[in-house]
Structure 1
Amino acid sequence: MKKQAVALFVGLALLVPSMNGSALARNQQDREYYETRGEIVWEVPTNTKVMALTFDDGPDPEYTLQIAELLKQYNAKGTFFVVGSRAKDFPEVVRQLASEQHELANHTYSHPDVRRISSERLQAEMEKTQETIFQSTGIRPQLFRPPGGYYSDAVVNTAKKAGFLVVMWSWHQDTRDWSDPGVQKIVNKVLNNARNGDIVLFHDYGGDRKQTVQALREILPELHKRGYQFVTVSEMMRLYGKTKKVGQGEHGDD
C-alpha cells in the first residue's frame, strides 16, 4: 500500500510540471493570437529606453495624488485605469490627472469578475465609466483593461465594439503590489526586469498602498538614472512601433 502511495505521489509530482508547461504554452499561444491580430497589447517592442507605468483600481484621494506628485518630479506620465464608481466619488482627482496630462483609461465601473458577467453587462460597465470620466474631464478613454487581467474572445470583442483597445501588462512586470509583498520585492521586481517598452502594473487603490508609493520613490530615480523615460501607454504605442492610432483620449462636445 505504501509503495502504491509513493508511486502515486511521484506520478503526480511528475505531472505537475507538465501541466504547468502546458498552461504556459497555451498562454503563449493565446497571447500570440491576440497580439498578431492587434487586439491586445502586453508591451511595445522598441530599442528606445522608454516604458509605461500603469495604475489600476483608483482613483484614490490619498495614494493617487501621492503617485502623481512623484511622477511629476521625474517629468513622468502615467496611465491610470480608472474604476468608474470611484471616478464618480472623486472627480477632482480624475480632473487633476487629466490636467497633468496623465492618461485616463477604462477599468469598468464596479470592477466585476468579467468571467462571470454577460457581454451586455460588460459593455454597460464600460459605457458608464466612459460617461463618468467624460462628465469630469471631457475625455473619453480609448484603452481598456479587464479587472484581474482576465480576457477572452467575448471580452476582446465587447471592447472592440465599444471602441477600445485592450491593454494588459508585461508578464515580467506584474508587481503584485496589491498583495503587500513588501517594498523591496516591488522595487526588485521592476528594476531587475526593466526592459525597453515595458508596461508595468501597479495599483493606486485596493487597501493600503503605502508600499506602492514607497517603492516608486526608489524605482523612479533608479530608472531615470539608467536613462528611461516614462510615457503613457498610448504615447509609447504611437511613437515606438504600434501602428494603431491611439490618443490620450477623445474630447467631445457631449
Structure 2
Amino acid sequence: MNTRRGHWAKRGKAATIACGLAAILLTAASSDEAHAGPKPRAYYESTGEVIWEVPVGEKAIALTFDDGPDPKDTPQILDLLREYDAKATFFIMGRKAREHPEIVKREALEGHEIANHTFTHPVLVRCSTKQIRKEIEDTQEILTSAAGVRPVLFRPPEGFFDSRVLEISKQQGLKTVLWSWHHPTDDWSRPGVGHIVRGALGDVRNGDIILFHDYVHGPTQTIAALRQILPKLAKDGYRFVTVSELLRGKAQENQAERMGATK
C-alpha cells in the first residue's frame, strides 16, 4: 500500500473532506492496484495512458518535485539545479502557485517544466467528477498565467487515479505521469538524508523519473540529499532532463527504429 496515505490524510485534511461526500474507497492491497485501480500497470503503460518511466538509449533521467512552490525551499533547489545545469519538472499545486507566482515564473524562465498537481492536493478518486475537473482546470489556468506556458503533464496526488481522472486530464491536454517506484526516496516523510540518497541512487536506469518534494512538513532533508545525488549522477554521466524531454527522446528513438526497419 502507499505509505504516504497516512501523511496526506493529515496534511490534506480539508481537501480530503471536500471530496469525502463522493468517496470511492480504496481497498486495493497491492501497489499496482492502489495506484492504477482495477487495471494493472502494464495495461496503462502499453496504452500510453500513464507514464512511470521512459526507457531511452541515452543516460538521461528526470528529477521531479511535487507540492510546491515553497518560498524557502524551492529557490534553494533551483539554485542547486542551476549549479549542475539540471532541468527538472515541477508538479505544482495551484493554491501555492497563486500565492507564489514569482517562483513559478522563475522555474519556467530557467528552463524547468511546469506541470499540474491539482489545486488543493485531494485524493482525486474520492472526489466527484465535477470536483476533479475543477481541481485540474483551476490549476491549469493559474500555472499558465504564472509561467506563460500551458502545462502538458499532470500528476495525481499520491499517485491515485481512475478512469475519470485520466479522461478529465486528457480533456485538458495533459499526459498523466507518476514516478519510478524502484526509487523510494520517501523525502516527504523526512526519513533521513541517507535514506533519500540511497533511494535515488539505487538501481538507476536510463529514463527513470525520480520523485522528490520541494515542500514538506518540517525542515526539508531533500536539499542536503540533492547535494550528494546531483554530483554522483553527473559523475556517472547522466543528464538531468524534463519529463517532456524524455518523452521526445523516446519518440525520436522509435521513429529512427521505424525508419531503419523500412530500409
TM-score (norm 1): 0.83
Give the length in aligned residue pairs: 223
Give the CA RMSD over aligned residues: 1.9
Change (3 A) 1:173 1:242: farther
| Partner amino acid, structure 2, of 1:55 | F
**Higher radius of gyration, 1 or 2:** 1
Change (3 A) 1:242 1:199: farther
Change (3 A) 1:197 1:154: same
Q: Structure 1 residue aligned with 2:30, among 15, 23, 31?
A: 23
Alignment correspondent of 1:58: 68
Instruction: Report the Cα offset of residue 120 of structure 1.
Output: 1.6
Q: Structure 2 residue aligned with 1:177, among 187, 190, 198?
A: 187
In structure 2, list runs of 5 or more residues that go unmatched: 1-28, 255-263
The answer to whether the aligner puts 1:162 opposite 2:162 as a matched pair is no
Q: Structure 2 residue aligned with 1:34, among 29, 41, 44?
A: 44
TM-score (norm 2): 0.80
Distance in 1 (alpha carbons) for counterparts of 2:243 and 2:58:
14
Deviations along 1:34-75, one digit per CA (max 9) or x if unpaired, are 111111000011121100000000001111111111110111
Alignment correspondent of 1:146: 156
| Partner amino acid, structure 1, of 2:221 | Q
Distance in 2 (alpha carbons) for counterparts of 1:26 and 1:116:
15
Q: Structure 2 residue aligned with 1:214, among 219, 224, 246?
A: 224
Distance in 2 (alpha carbons) for counterparts of 1:65 and 1:51:
21
Q: Structure 2 residue aligned with 1:225, among 224, 230, 235?
A: 235
Contact map agreement 1:79 1:105 (CA 8 A) in 2 = yes
In structure 1, list runs of 5 or more residues that go unmatched: 1-21, 245-254
Distance in 1 (alpha carbons) for counterparts of 2:158 and 2:33:
18
Distance in 1 (alpha carbons) for counterparts of 2:252 and 2:167:
20
Instruction: Report the Cα offset of residue 207 of structure 1.
Output: 1.6
The answer to whether the aligner puts 1:84 opposite 2:91 as a matched pair is no
Bigger mean CA offset, 67-76 vs 131-140: 131-140
Distance in 2 (alpha carbons) for counterparts of 1:184 and 1:206:
17
Contact map agreement 1:177 1:202 (CA 8 A) in 2 = yes
Deviations along 1:99-124, one digit per CA (max 9) or x if unpaired, are 10100000000111112101221111
Alignment correspondent of 1:205: 215
Contact map agreement 1:45 1:241 (CA 8 A) in 2 = no
Identity %: 49
